[in-house]
Amino acid sequence: MGSRLAVAVDPVTVSIVVDAPRERVFDYLQDIANHPEFTDHYLVDWHLTRIDSVGLGAGARFRVKAPGNRFSWGDVTFVEVDAPHRIVEAGRGGKDNRIRTLGVYELAPGAAGTTRVRFTLETEPATLSDRLMEGLGARGWLKRKNTRAMRRLRSIIESDVGRGRRVTVAGG
């Protein structure tokens, strides 16, 4: 009798220092409607999964613009919001939403009123084929895209540069 053993892939972690108080950075990040502003270079067609886009339970659905990605829809929901330290988002993506994802934003105070923002993304492919796809460059691609997202986040918070349109509820 065979069993499917889910194996988590090594997480991808990126970080950046933002010249802003931790509370301000946290307030921005805990509103998921702001996330397309810094991730729309690879996450597109965002829709909220509920009207309230702030805090615990806030969520969104989006498409991942990845090369060769036939099953591009994914979603995330904030499952832990610990002000002003940590936001955890759980989600799913891939074919039949079978790949679990866990994203963690950790905010630490830095020198002279700065904030270190660290984002870690962990995926749990459900099948051998999902694991193979991740092994064929998906981790490096995700690291590059998330590094760019952190730079864009910093630019938005520090200089108000790169602001985009806020996401809305699906069908709204």
pLDDT digits (tens, 9 = 90+) for 117-157: 999 999 887 767 666 666 556 788 899 999 999 999 999 99
Listed as own residue / partner, the contacts of 49-57 with beta carbons closer than 8 Å and 24 or more positions apart are 49/75, 49/77, 49/169, 49/170, 50/169, 51/169, 53/167, 54/30, 55/30, 55/81, 56/80, 56/81
Q: Looking at per-residue confidence, does 27 or 161 come out higher?
A: 27
Q: Looking at per-residue confidence, does 9 or 48 come out higher?
A: 48
Separation of alpha carbons 142 and 42, rounded Å: 9
Dihedral Cα 125, 14, 87, 67, nearest 10 deg: -40
Q: What are the domain boundaries of the chain? A: 12-159
Residue type, 152: R
pLDDT score for 146: 97
Taking only the tens place, the pLDDT of each residue in 88-120 is 999 998 877 888 999 999 999 999 999 999 999
Taking only the tens place, the pLDDT of each residue in 42-89 is 999 999 999 999 999 999 999 998 766 666 899 999 999 999 999 999
pTM value is: 0.88
pLDDT score for 165: 72
Q: CATH assignment of 12-159?
A: 3.30.530.20
